Amino acid sequence: MPLAAEEKILGLFKDSDALLQGHFKLTSGKHSEWYFEKIRLIEKPAALEKIIDLLVAKIRAEKKEFDVVVSPAYGAIAIGFLAALKLGKRFAFTQRVDEKMAFRSGFTGIDGAKAIIVEDILTTGGSVNEVIECLKLRNVEVAGIYVLVDRTGGDARIEGKPVGSLLSLKVEAFEPDVCPFCKSGIELTKPGASDKKI
Ligand SMILES: [Zn+2]
């Protein structure tokens, strides 16, 4: 992707406050320069729409045939729904029922359909894999997998299929004693704790 396009996407994520740059204490106890606040993505629909427009352009450019956009509950529902609306396709979501991913009951036109999967952030690929298993059970062909942010650093493949992403960012996390941001004396923030400084 050209640098200008990456910069634009990075700017949109920053505008939505979903991607924070600074010095953060993660729940693992490690420190990081970047922090994703997923809930921010759906908090400001107008900011999300600009991001979705770029995702939709990417999906359209690949000219894949599919009938339905499928997203896992809950964070990605708004994302997949908005993408489906703009693509003129149907939408369905999956959710965990007794820890097993399944379609929310009541959706029609699923069996034998062709689907693309839309997820917010790819970290380990766990929930996308669960969605794929769920699609197999309903005889749904996976025509494509798309995420807004690929935190694995790009070139991710799931079950041999490439994962299309708008932004690929490998987030490095440091133990506090070797953290370069601690060494630089940058104030540490614990995200999610009402943005309190710690
Ligand atoms: Zn640090």
Distance 139 CA to ligand 1 centre (A): 48
Render the burial of 17-44: b for 16+ CB within 10 Å, e for the rest: ebbbeebbbbeeeebbbbbbeeebbbee
Distance 134 CA to ligand 1 centre (A): 40
* Residue-by-residue DSSP string for 57-100: HHHHHTT---SEEEEETTTTHHHHHHHHHHHT-EEEEEEEETTE
Give the span between the Cα atoms of 29 and 109, in whole angstroms: 45
> What is the residue-level pLDDT of the chain in tens, covering all 198 positions?
566 778 888 889 888 888 888 999 988 899 999 888 888 989 989 999 999 999 999 999 999 999 999 999 988 999 999 999 999 999 999 999 888 999 998 999 999 999 999 999 888 778 899 999 999 999 999 999 999 988 887 777 888 888 999 988 887 899 999 999 999 999 999 886 554 444
Distance 180 CA to ligand 1 centre (A): 6
Distance 28 CA to ligand 1 centre (A): 13
**pLDDT the model gives residue 195:** 47
Distance 125 CA to ligand 1 centre (A): 27
Please state the length of the chain.
198
Distance 170 CA to ligand 1 centre (A): 17
Give the span between the Cα atoms of 139 and 103, in whole angstroms: 13
What tokens appear for 169 in the block? 């960012």
**pLDDT the model gives residue 2:** 60
Distance 184 CA to ligand 1 centre (A): 9
Distance 22 CA to ligand 1 centre (A): 10
Distance 198 CA to ligand 1 centre (A): 12
Distance 174 CA to ligand 1 centre (A): 7
Give the span between the Cα atoms of 153 and 130, in whole angstroms: 21
Tell me, yes or no, if the pTM score tops 0.75. Answer: yes
Greatest Cα pair distance, the chain, in angstroms, is 57
**pLDDT the model gives residue 192:** 67
**pLDDT the model gives residue 196:** 42
**pLDDT the model gives residue 25:** 93
Distance 20 CA to ligand 1 centre (A): 15
Distance 186 CA to ligand 1 centre (A): 8
Distance 29 CA to ligand 1 centre (A): 10
